[in-house]
């Protein structure tokens, strides 16, 4: 089965199949991890969420059909292909990028679109490069607070907090001056940090007097 590269707009109402498949498709799938240096421990990684996927490739829009490299015959003229992509970009709405026979099927935005008006030895053909980035739709009913806040488990209530110090039986600990996670909790500090990330923040090496830390059982 031949691989097909498609760009579409407005839920498929407008489509463009690339006449010449790119030689390569570069895909980046970044992760938003944070590396932190902690005293008496070394480097610790705070694992974040997966970032939006990025796609980039190069190809050309041919003026004439050539069975050697063209995927189909009745394709638009190069200038029409350029106008179509630029028009979609200028409407400031996401496109759909699909590569058949693969797991690439994403809503995307155009991040960069550049092309050569003329290349020696290829009269009429237009060579281009295209960069796309995954677009994630937000729930229209969500508020900025909903987007960043972690959902609470339904029907569950937080148990009463009993401050008995940093012992195995304790349910919470109130930070005192001079404390650090590694000093108070020893080798168990990563577990304490994960349970209190919302209170401590992104740097487990910074805790402040008066903060109340939950100690998981």
Residues of the chain where predicted confidence (pLDDT) is lower than 70:
1, 140-170
pLDDT in tens, 22-67: 999 999 988 888 888 888 788 888 888 888 999 999 999 999 999 9
Strand partners, 58: 129
- For residue 119, what pLDDT is reported? 86
CA-CA distance, 123 to 57, in Å (whole number)?
22
Considering the entire predicted model, what is its pTM?
0.60
Buried b (16+ CB within 10 A) or exposed e, 4-25: ebbbbbeeeeeebbbbbbbeeb
Q: How much is the pLDDT for 159?
A: 54
pLDDT for residue 156: 54
Structure tokens of 44? 């610790």
């Amino acid at each position: 089965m031949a691989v097909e590269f498609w760009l579409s707009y407005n839920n498929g109402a407008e489509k463009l199949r690339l006449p010449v498949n790119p030689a390569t498709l570069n895909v980046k799938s970044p992760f938003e991890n944070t590396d932190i240096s902690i005293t008496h421990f070394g480097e610790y990684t705070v694992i974040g969420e997966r970032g939006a996927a990025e796609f980039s490739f190069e190809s050309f829009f041919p003026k004439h059909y050539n069975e050697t490299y063209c995927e189909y015959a009745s394709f638009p003229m190069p200038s029409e292909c350029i106008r179509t992509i630029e028009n979609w970009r200028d409407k400031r709405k996401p496109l759909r990028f699909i590569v058949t026979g693969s797991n690439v099927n994403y809503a995307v935005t155009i991040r960069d679109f550049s092309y050569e008006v003329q290349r020696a030895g290829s009269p009429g053909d237009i060579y281009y490069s295209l960069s796309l980035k995954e677009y994630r739709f937000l729930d229209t009913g969500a508020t900025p607070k909903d987007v960043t806040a972690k959902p609470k488990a339904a029907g569950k209530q937080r148990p009463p907090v009993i401050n008995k110090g940093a012992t195995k039986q304790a349910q919470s600990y109130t930070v005192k001056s001079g404390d650090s996670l590694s000093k108070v909790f020893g080798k168990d500090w990563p577990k304490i940090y994960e349970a209190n990330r919302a209170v401590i923040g992104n740097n487990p090496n910074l805790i402040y007097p008066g903060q109340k830390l939950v100690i998981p059982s």
